[in-house]
Amino acid sequence: INMKCLRKNMREFWYALYGRDEETKDAAGYYTGLYKPVYTPPRLMSANISAARGTSNEQIFGVDISYDKAIVTSDVDCPISETTILWLDNAPIINSDGSTDTPYDYIVTRVARSINSVSYAAKRVDVSNV
Which tens digits make up the pLDDT trace of 49-72?
987 665 444 455 555 567 789 999
21 with 37: CB under 8 angstroms?
Answer: yes
What is the rounded distance in angstroms from the CA atom of residue 102 to the CA atom of residue 39? 13
pLDDT: which is higher, 53 or 77: 77
Mean pLDDT to the nearest integer, 13-28: 95
Tally the residues of the chain: 130
What is the rounded distance in angstroms from the CA atom of residue 78 to the CA atom of residue 40? 15
* Dihedral in degrees, nearest 10, Cα atoms 53, 61, 37, 80: -90
Confidence of residue 45 (pLDDT cuts 50, 70, 90): very high
Mean pLDDT to the nearest integer, 118-125: 93
pLDDT of 7:
79
Mean pLDDT to the nearest integer, 99-127: 92
Mean pLDDT to the nearest integer, 6-28: 92
Mean pLDDT to the nearest integer, 46-50: 92
121 with 64: CB under 8 angstroms?
Answer: no
**pTM of the full structure:** 0.81
Q: Which helix (H) or strand (E) holds 111?
A: strand 106-113
Residue 37 amino acid letter: P
